[in-house]
Structure 1
């Protein structure tokens, strides 16, 4: 069976809508939520606007690949990750382990657009609809990288445990430098 792979980098809000979801919560509930972090990793208490609802095209993409995505969890996973950190998340289809959605949620220390890599690997059976949905997501996003169609199992290689950890050098000033080791996390196995 032939497989097709597509990827690009877009802001996470190209996949999820953020609505004000905390105005009805008590201060005690808000204070119990994990802290968000700003661009240099400092904790901030303003969590207004965080409530992930999937864009229709991203939701359809997950449904075509048969992935039951927890969108609120994904939103929290991204926004409660410190700058200079973030792993590669692989969501496998329970019906075909060769099909998956890849999200690289590494958040660079100077990333002001909350960019993530979205990748999809699908069988020929799903290729036409996946290709259209990925193009729709890409066309609506700004800023964005180029749309890439792989023919050499490039995304598949990113799912291999032996390729991790991947070092990421984080620089936050002239003398502040540390290394973060990115790992891969698997879901729907």
Structure 2
């Protein structure tokens, strides 16, 4: 059995954060703050991909990020999802709770349950049409197709 956690906060609350790095180590996920910072820095308002980082030891354990940067988002909010074994959730939950509790801007709650990430990580759900305002090839468009990147 696996436990899912989902919450939103600023990308800057997880980048270069020791608690988040510890979560990644517990999940055996190769996390690179510089890689994610560079990836996020390239996102144009109204765009942004979904990203899955799989554990190297258990493909069912993973991190999920929805990096869509909303047109009016001034806080660089991202949706973070964590799927871990029930056994490892006892170590991971307190770390995630500390990250969430100390974030200045965040979702109303951190959700916990089983199968919360199922629809978000389903490859057949992508590309996903997102209603937005953005520019693609210099033209203003009102729809963006979000892709899923798996690592």
> TM-score, normalized by length of structure 2?
0.91
Length, aligned pairs only: 145
Correspondent of 1:148 among 111, 116, 130: 111
Aligned to 2:6: 7
1:184 lines up with 2:124 in the alignment:
no
Q: Larger C-alpha radius of gyration, 1 or 2? A: 1
- Give the distance between the partners of 2:60 and 2:144, measured in 1 at CA: 29
Aligned to 2:129: 167
Structure 2, unpaired ranges of 5+: 135-139
Q: What is the CA RMSD across the aligned residues, in angstroms?
A: 1.2
Quote how far apart the aligned CAs of 1:177 are: 4.3
The answer to whether the 8 A contact 1:169-1:177 is kept is no
- Give the distance between the partners of 2:113 and 2:48, measured in 1 at CA: 24
1:80 lines up with 2:42 in the alignment:
yes
Task: Report SS of the residue matched to 1:69.
Answer: coil
Task: Report SS of the residue matched to 2:117.
Answer: helix
Task: Report SS of the residue matched to 1:154.
Answer: coil
The answer to whether the 8 A contact 2:127-2:145 is kept is yes
**Structure 1: which 4+ aligned runs deviate by more than 2 Å?**
none
Task: Report SS of the residue matched to 1:171.
Answer: strand
Q: How does 1:14-163 map to 2 (within 5 A)?
A: 14-16=13-15, 54-145=16-107, 146-151=109-114, 153-163=115-125
**Bigger RCO of structures 1 and 2 (CA < 8 A, at least 6 apart):** 2
